[in-house]
Amino acid sequence: MEKQNKPVYYKDYLQLNKLLDSQSCKSKEVGNECHDETLFIIVHQAYELWFKQIIHELDSILPIFAKESIPDSQMSLISARLERIIHIQKVLVEHLVILETMTPMDFLEFRDLLIPASGFQSVQFRMIEIKLGLGLKKRNTEFEGFILGRLAQEDRDLLLNIEEDKSLLELIEKWLERVPFIQDGKFDFWKEFQKSVNEMLKSDREIIEKNTSIPEEQKNIQLESLEVTKETFFSLFDPEKYNTLIAEGKKTLSQKATLGALFVMLYRDEPLLYLPYKVLNSLMDIDENFIAWRQRHALMAQRMLGTKIGTGGSSGHDYLKKAADKNRVFLDLFNLSSFIIPRSKLPVLPESIKRELNFYFSENSKIKT
């Protein structure tokens, strides 16, 4: 990068004249400026700036995951940028704390002047959802029509074009399907894993059956619950049952991707699986943080509006609450905990695989992975 000799002035570099002159209060236009409208504008403008940064981070990650092979150095970069998104999300929640310093009466002074503008029309937030894997078409036709019907044509076209690209969820699925180390010659990890699960469930059954301190009826309930647990475990290894769960909308990731993710989770202490584990964990953090933000947003809407409809025509608090409950991207990763077993029960990996999963020095001091 060539250095420039021309001096840079702080205000000019940040274009502060443009930025600080972009808070135009509707209440002032009608001759009675409401003090808190400036706060309302600035908080939402700050949101859009942070949304822009999140999109910037996602746009740098997506092409890397689209590759057939991802170098370790780029996995580190992906992990760092996902963590940056997580920190930004924490700031987004704190913005709501600032906005809540505005009372409902203060908000109502200018609220009607905003109709029909609404957060529904945040194109950047919809872009984030789509890029993560929460596409409009994947929810339902009614929701797609509700959102697109409130946008200008150019914004509709933009979102529909983005929907044609591979989302992070789809690229993560392909990446997880390529997880190596699971088979090595005569060793089949999943057969060994199923043996461990069988032993664990057998031990659990014996504990329940030998427990004389609980009534027979409660014991039968526990045994039935154990059978459900067994079915849950082994649906993971039955392609037909697993594909049925996908068809019913209970699973999103393919069976192969789910098995790859589970392997990473189970052996995350191995050096070469540490970064993949961090990436999967960060994806769950991002999902969780958006849920928390939606829930906090719903509570704020109830606090400000009660049961009034939103400026965009939605049911306000009720809609936002339902959105927080339903809009999950990486739910399959959360549900991997259903298949986690104690460390002491994990199959012992062959030495050949252990060496592949560790960094070590050979006799000639050459680093291998």
What are 13-36's pLDDT values in tens digits?
999 999 999 999 999 999 889 999
Please check the confidence at residue 185 and state whether its pLDDT lies above 80. Answer: no
Residue 188's beta-bridge partner residues?
Answer: 183
Q: Find out whether 334 and 251 touch, Cβ atoms under 8 Å.
A: no
What is the percent of the chain where pLDDT is above 90? 55
Please check the confidence at residue 318 and state whether its pLDDT lies above 70. Answer: no
Quick one: average pLDDT of 52-61? 98
- Confidence bin at 369 (pLDDT 50/70/90): very low
Look at residue 366 in the predicted model and tell me its pLDDT. 40
Look at residue 368 in the predicted model and tell me its pLDDT. 40
Please check the confidence at residue 361 and state whether its pLDDT lies above 70. Answer: no
- pTM exceeding the 0.85 threshold for the entire prediction: yes
Between residues 39 and 139, the one the model is more confident about:
39
Please check the confidence at residue 60 and state whether its pLDDT lies above 60. Answer: yes
Tokens coding 75: 């996995």
Compute how many other C-beta atoms are within 10 angstroms of the C-beta atom of residue 310. Answer: 20
What is the percent of the chain where pLDDT is above 70? 88
Look at residue 364 in the predicted model and tell me its pLDDT. 43
Please check the confidence at residue 130 and state whether its pLDDT lies above 80. Answer: yes
The residues spanned by each domain of the chain are 11-181+252-336
Peptide bond into 271 cis (omega under 30): no
Please check the confidence at residue 299 and state whether its pLDDT lies above 60. Answer: yes
Alpha helices in the chain, H assignment, sequence order:
10-13, 16-20, 26-29, 37-65, 72-99, 104-111, 123-132, 136-139, 141-148, 153-163, 168-177, 189-210, 216-235, 239-247, 255-266, 271-305, 317-326, 331-334, 351-356
Q: Find out whether 57 and 162 touch, Cβ atoms under 8 Å.
A: no
Look at residue 181 in the predicted model and tell me its pLDDT. 63
92's torsion region: left (phi>0), alpha (psi -120 to 50) or beta?
Answer: alpha
- Confidence bin at 268 (pLDDT 50/70/90): very high
Tokens 């920190």 label which residue?
87
- Confidence bin at 305 (pLDDT 50/70/90): confident
Look at residue 367 in the predicted model and tell me its pLDDT. 35
Q: Find out whether 275 and 72 touch, Cβ atoms under 8 Å.
A: yes
Quick one: average pLDDT of 315-327? 66
- Confidence bin at 254 (pLDDT 50/70/90): very high
Look at residue 46 in the predicted model and tell me its pLDDT. 97
- Confidence bin at 257 (pLDDT 50/70/90): very high
Please check the confidence at residue 184 and state whether its pLDDT lies above 80. Answer: no
Look at residue 158 in the predicted model and tell me its pLDDT. 95
Look at residue 189 in the predicted model and tell me its pLDDT. 83
Q: How far apart are CA 307 and CA 355, in angstroms?
A: 61
Q: How far apart are CA 339 and CA 194, in angstroms?
A: 11
Please check the confidence at residue 271 and state whether its pLDDT lies above 50. Answer: yes
Q: Indicate the DSSP class of residue 218.
A: H
Which residues touch 203 (CB under 8 Å, ≥6 apart)? Answer: none
Please check the confidence at residue 332 and state whether its pLDDT lies above 60. Answer: yes
CATH for the stretch 11-181+252-336: 1.20.58.480
Q: Long-range contact list for 262-269, CB < 8 A, 24+ apart?
A: 262/236, 262/336, 262/339, 263/179, 263/181, 263/182, 263/189, 264/176, 264/179, 265/336, 265/340, 266/193, 266/340, 266/341, 266/346, 267/346, 267/349, 267/357
Look at residue 1 in the predicted model and tell me its pLDDT. 61
Please check the confidence at residue 220 and state whether its pLDDT lies above 60. Answer: yes
- Confidence bin at 140 (pLDDT 50/70/90): low
Flag the least confident range among 160-174, 222-236, 276-290.
222-236
Residue 183's beta-bridge partner residues?
Answer: 188
Look at residue 135 in the predicted model and tell me its pLDDT. 86
Task: Answer positive or negative: Cα dihedral of 260, 264, 266, 272.
Answer: positive
Write out pLDDT tens, residues 236-249. Answer: 889 999 999 999 98
Between residues 133 and 146, the one the model is more confident about:
133
- Confidence bin at 311 (pLDDT 50/70/90): low
